[in-house]
Amino acid sequence: MSSLSRDDVANLARLARIQMSEEELVSLSHEFTVILDAVARVQEVASADVEPTSHPLPLRNVFRPDVVLPSLSTSEALSGAPAQEESRFRVPQILGEE
Amino acid sequence: MAKALAAGDITSVALTQVHLDRITSVDTDVHAFLFVDTQGALAQAAAVDAKRAAGEKLSPLAGVPLALKDVMTQKNVPTTAGSKILEGWRPPYDSTVVTNLRANDIVILGKTNMDEFAMGSSTENSAYGPTHNPWDLTRIPGGSGGGSSAALAAFEAPLAIGTDTGGSIRQPAAVTGTVGVKPTYGAVSRFGLIAFSSSLDQAGPCARNVLDAALLHEAIAGYDARDSTSINAPVPQVVNAAKSGDVKGMKIGVVKELNGDGYQSGVRIRFEESLELLAKAGAEIVEVSAPNFEYALAAYYLIAPSECSSNLARFDAMRYGLRVGDGEGASAESVMNLTRKAGFGREVKRRIILGTYALSSGYYDAYYGSAQKVRTLITQDFDKAFQKCDVMVSPTCPTTAFKIGEKSNDPIAMYLNDIATIPVNMAGIGGMSLPAGLAPEDGLPVGFQIMAPAMADQRMYLVGAALEAALLTKWGAPLLSKIPELRGK
C-alpha cells in the first residue's frame, strides 16, 4: 500500500510552488492514500516487455521553415502583465540579497 | 437555421438577438455562460448579413451563433478556463479554432463555463460556480464542458465548442441529451487551447444533431502549422457521412468490458435498444473484447496529472494573470507560492501534486512509466478489435446525470464517470456521444458512444446518423422536445 505523509505532501507542494494550509496538507495526504492505491493498478500489467507510449501520434522533431512571421507587438505582449516597467515585464526579486 | 439564413427568411442579427434574449432569460438558472459578448456577437452577425446581402458565397454555417468553451482564447474577450488565476485576462490573440470559426462566419455568443482547467466531470470545479443541467437544475450538466452542453440543451445556442481530454465533450453531451464529438487526436488544432494534458486534449464540435456536429467539425478541423501535433492530411468527409447514414454491411463491435456491472439499468436498456435499431438498419453487431480497458482510468489519472503539473507551471504570476504578495522585498518564489495558492482550486492543486509525485525521481518508473505502458496496451486492444469491426460502441457513461454535490467530496467516485470515455483519449482515436433516449427510472438522458479508428471519423457520423434517424422515427420528435420548460425570468 502506498501512502504519503503530511511532510511528503508539503515537500511536493514546495516543488510545485503552491503554498498550502495545514488543513490542505493533512487532507491531501489522506486522499492520496486512496488515490495512489487506485492508480497503482497500472503496475499489474506494465511488464518489462511493453514499450511505453508517450503520445498518440508517431511524430518526431516537427520543424517549420525558419521564416519571420508577424507576431505580437510589445504592448500586446504586455497587455496581460501584472506589472510592467519600460516596456518590460516587472517581476519580483529573483536572486538573493547581494 | 442555416437554411432559413441562406433563404433570407431571417437575418443573422435577428437570430443572434433571439439567442442573446434567451440567455438573458434563462442563464440566471442554468449558468452556462461566464461571459456573453453581446456587442461582439451582434457586430459579427451584422457583418455576415452584409456579406450575404452583397451576394458573397458563404460557408454552410455562416451567421449561425455558437457558444465557445472558455478554455479557448479569443482576442480581447475574457478567457479564464474556469480559474481565478486568469480572472480578467483578455488574450492578445485568437486560437486557431476561433480563427476557423471566423473564417466560416460563425457568430460567437460568448464563453461557456467549465471545470477549472477542464479538470472534472461535473463543472462543479469551476471557480465561478456550477452550471445546472437544463433537464433538472439540481443535477450536473457533465464536465468539464458543462457550460457548452447546457447551453445547447437550454436552447441558448445551437452550436458549441468543447474540448475532450478524458470525456469532457462526450460525457456532458450524454447527460444533457445532446451530440458531442471528440475527433481523432491532431484533427483540430490545439493552438490557443489552454493546455491541460497535451497528449490527450482535443477540441471538437457540440450540437443538437449529428449533421450540425459534422458541419461544425469540417469548419474547425484541418492542419495548422502552429500546432506541431496537428495532422497534415485531408479532413475526413464527415458531412457526407452524416447525410448518408448508410450502415448496411458495417460491423459494429460492442465492447464486452464497457457494459454490465456498474452501469445503471436504464442506461443498459437504451443501449441495447440502440443496438437493435442499428441491426435493423443493416449493420452487423459483433462482440469485441478490450481486456486492458480496466486499467485505463488508473493510467489516465497518472498521465493527465503528470502533464498538467508541467503545463500549469506557466501560471507563475510573471507575464499574465493573477499576482499575489508582490511588494518591497518579496521574492519571486514567495509570489509564485502565494499566487498559486490563491489562484488554483482544490482539484487543480490535487492533480498538480499527484503529477509532481508521479514524475518525481524514484517514483517515475512505478507510476508515470507504468501508465505509459498501459497506454500501449490500450492502443493494442483497439487495434485488435478494429480488425473485427469498423466501429466500437458502448454506453457513454455508466449513469445518468447525478446531483450537484453528490460526488464532489469523493474524487474516485467522480473519476469513475469517465470509465468508458477515457480509452479513446489514451489511443488518440475518435469518439462520439449521441442521445439514446431517457432512462425509464429517472427520465434523464442516456448517451450512446461510437468509437472509430484514427482519421476514420466519418464512420462515427455514418453510424450516428443512422441511429439518430431510427430513434427519431421511433420517438416522433427529437429528444430535446421532451425537456422541461425553463421558467426563466
Q: Under an 8 A CB cutoff, do A44 and B350 touch? A: no
How close are the terminal C-alpha atoms of chain B, in Å?
A: 25
Beta bridge partners of B447: B435
Element (H, E) at B415: helix B411-415
Query: Which residues, 6+ apart, have CB-to-CB distance to B482 below 8 Å?
Result: B438
Give residues with Cβ within 8 angstroms of B142, minimum separation 6. B121, B122, B123, B133, B149, B171, B172, B173, B174, B175, B176, B401
Judged by CB atoms within 8 Å, which residues 64-93 of A form the interface with B?
Answer: 64, 72, 76-77, 79-83, 89, 91-93
Mutate to test the interface with A, among B328, B348, B374, B408 (most CBs of A within 10 A): B374
Residues B361-381 have pLDDT tens digits of 899 999 999 999 999 999 999
Does A97 fall in a domain?
A: no
pLDDT attached to residue A26: 95
Cell of B113: 463555463
In this predicted model, what pLDDT tens digit does every residue of B309-365 receive, in sequence order?
999 999 999 999 999 999 888 899 999 999 999 999 999 999 999 999 999 989 999
Q: Has B122 been annotated as catalytic?
A: no
Nearest by CB to B412, which of A9, A38, A59? A38
Instruction: Give chain A's domain count.
Output: 1
Whether the upstream peptide bond of residue A27 has omega within 30° of 0, thus cis, is: no
Predicted local distance difference test score (pLDDT) of residue B487 = 67
Fold of B2-294+374-482: Amidase signature (AS) enzymes (3.90.1300)
> Over 90: is that where the pLDDT of B206 sits?
yes
User: Given pLDDT bands bounded at 50, 70 and 90, which one contains residue B408?
Assistant: confident
Domain presence at residue A54? no
Query: Using the beta-carbon criterion (under 8 Å), do A53 and B379 form an inter-chain contact?
Result: yes
Closest partner residue to A28 among B89, B337, B350, by Cβ? B350
What's residue B416's pLDDT? 86
pLDDT band at B86 (very low <50, low <70, confident <90, very high): very high
Whether B144 is catalytic is yes
| B119-134 per-position pLDDT tens digit | 999 999 999 999 999 9
- Say if residue B489's pLDDT is above 70: no
Contact (CB, 8 A) for B325 and B334: yes
Convert the pLDDT of each residue in B430-478 to its tens digit.
999 999 999 999 999 999 999 999 999 999 999 999 999 999 999 999 9
Phi-psi region of A33 (alpha: psi -120 to 50; beta: other; left: phi over 0): alpha
User: CB within 8 A of B241, min separation 6: which ones?
Assistant: B214, B458, B459, B461, B462, B465
What are the sequence ranges of the domains in chain B?
A: 2-294+374-482
Q: Where are the alpha helices (DSSP H) in chain A?
A: 6-15, 22-39, 74-77
User: Does the residue A8 lie in any domain?
Assistant: yes
Q: What is the mean pLDDT of chain B?
A: 96
- Using alpha carbons, select from B113, B200, B196, B106 the residue that is nearest to residue B159: B106
Average pLDDT over residues A65-79: 92
Q: Is B310 a catalytic residue?
A: no
Q: Read off the pLDDT of residues B221-264 as tens digits, 9 standing for 90 and up.
A: 999 999 999 999 999 999 999 999 999 999 999 999 998 788 99
**To which residue does cell 504570476 refer?**
B317
* pLDDT of amino acid B260: 77
Q: Domain of residue A18: give its range.
A: 1-45
Q: Is the predicted pLDDT of residue A82 greater than 80, yes or no?
A: yes
User: Quick check: A81 and B319 CB within 8 A?
Assistant: yes
Q: How far apart are CA B294 and CA B297, in angstroms?
A: 7
Share of chain B above pLDDT 70, in %: 99
Would the CA dihedral through B299, B204, B260, A31 be positive or negative? positive
Q: Residue B33: which of B111, B98, B90 has the closest Cα?
A: B111
